[in-house]
Structures are given as C-alpha cells and as structure tokens.
Chain A
C-alpha cells in the first residue's frame, strides 16, 4: 500500500482551500468509502479517534451530522446538507462546525479516474478569509495536541 502525496492550496487573501489526493482504487470504491455511513465512521473526524456519525444521507437534499469527541470529552459537532450527488463522480455539500454557527462552507468533491486509480479533488469555499484561516488553524491546534498526545504516550512507554 503506497502513500500518495496530498496537495493543499490555501491562497493568501482568498477564502479557498483546495486539496488533491490520488488513491489506488477505482472511483466507485473510493466513492463508497466516502459515502457509506458504516465506512465513513471509520475515517471521518479530525484526529485518530472515530467520529460518531449521527446521520450521513448522501443524496440530493440529504443531511449529515457527526460528532467528534476529544480525549477529555469535549464535543465538536459538524453538519451540512448534500446538494448534488453524482454516483462515483461528484458531491457538492455544505459544511458547518456547530461551534461557529453561520460560518457555512460550500464543498465540491470530484472523483476522476486516472491511469493508476482515482483522483479526489476537493474545493472548499469559506464565507470569509478569516473563517478559512480559523479552520486551518484549528487543524493546527489538533496537530499540536496530537503531538503532545504522542509525546505523552512515548513518555508513558519509557516509564513503564
């Protein structure tokens, strides 16, 4: 299993983020993993903890909501609506972190067959540059906290 590179573009002064990633699978297989609620549960969420998927109804007009719990029990809930769903090809949805109500993003995810597999390309439009930056920085906080967690684990191992 290879690890394909992830390309992230967050242009200065514009409320966009674009992410491109190839997967060694067919568009149908990736689409299934990205839309089947039972499979979504296994990867969705910002950290190495599984998210509780309350609903994930991938069809035009369908809703989704999932809750992520930190190790200390803090809950982060996310929700949105699926606007466009083209089987194995395209999903357009809204995205909102309930901790920042009204800061709703529009996300477009396309699945394109390549010579070696499938390319996932997601474009997110944020309501403002500030909210885009806040979203990126929250990811950063997670990253830092993850590092501390890993460090704590290592220290624990050293001590036992």
Chain B
C-alpha cells in the first residue's frame, strides 16, 4: 500500500481549517451545492467557494455538473487515506496502552 505524500500533505492542510472541516462534516451527510453549503456560515459565498476549491484540490471533494446544479460530493477514499494514516499510529499506541492496562492489573493486585 503506497501513500502519496503530496496528497496526504494537501489533505491535512485542507482539513487544518475549521470552516473546511465543517464543510466536510456537512458533505458527509450527502451532496450539496455551494449555496446550500454557504447558508449556515457568516462568511461570503466567495469565501466558501475558495474553501471548496482547496478541498477539491486536495482531492477530498468532487464537483459534478448536473444541469444548472454543481453539487459537491465527498471523496470517501481520500478521507479514508487520511484517517488510516493516523489510525495505524493509534493502533500501535492503543496496543501498548492495553498492555499497560494488563500490567497495572497485576501491580494493583500486588498493592492490595
């Protein structure tokens, strides 16, 4: 399994902004147009468009043409690549912590 570092960097940089994370969260519930996405925010539609551009460049979302509508969609595979990057680190950490849990049980028995 190879990881494209450039894509990872762009992905993480794209997610390093609260507005863009909120847009991703919204799109995880289904596709939406720029107007629909901009609605809950107090920033201009142009600003939202720029954020979407960043997400698109990072490969996290795609935009299709549907007549006059140009809905944005999540690219789940790209998000998965980002989460698996941290998830395996997490697995390693959690495995160690569970071993510590087990040793602590023994230590607690000795202490009581």
Q: Report which A residues bind B (CB closer than 8 A).
A: 1, 3-4, 6, 8, 10-13, 17, 19, 21, 23-25, 29-30, 32-34, 39, 42-48, 133, 135-137, 139-144, 146
Contact of B107 among A25, A45, A139 (CB under 8 A): A25
Contact A8 B104 (CB under 8 A): no
Answer whether residue B86 sits at the interface, using C-beta atoms and an 8 A cutoff: yes
Instruction: Find the B residue at minimum CB distance from A39.
Output: B103
Chain B interface (Cβ within 8 Å of chain A)? 1, 3, 5, 8-9, 12-16, 84-105, 107-108, 111
A137 with B99, Cβ < 8 A, contacts A24-B104, A25-B108 known: no
Measured between beta carbons, the chain A residues less than 8 angstroms from B1 are 144
In this complex, what residue of A is CB-closest to B102? A1
Residues of B contacting A17 in the complex (Cβ-Cβ under 8 angstroms): 89
User: How would you classify the secondary structure of chain B's contact residues: helix, strand, loop or mixed?
Assistant: helix
| Given A25-B108, A33-B107, also A12-B92 (CB < 8 A) | no
A140 touches B84 (CB 8 A): yes
The answer to whether B94 touches A6, judged by C-beta atoms less than 8 angstroms apart, is: yes
In order of increasing CB-CB distance, the 4 nearest A-B pairs are A143-B88, A12-B12, A12-B16, A140-B88
B89 in contact with A136 (CB, 8 Å) = yes
A50's nearest neighbour on chain B, judged by CB, is B99
Q: Find chain A residues with CB under 8 A from B87 CB.
A: 143
Given A136-B86, A143-B88: A12 in contact with B104 (beta carbons within 8 A): no
Q: Determine whether the beta carbon of A46 is less than 8 Å from that of B92.
A: yes
A-B contact pairs, 9 of them (CB 8 A): A3-B101, A8-B89, A24-B101, A32-B107, A33-B104, A43-B103, A46-B92, A142-B88, A143-B89
Task: Report the nearest A residue to B96, measured CB to CB.
Answer: A43
Rounded to whole Å, the gap between the CB of A121 and the closest CB of chain B is: 13
B-side contacts of A43, CB under 8 Å: 96, 99-100, 103
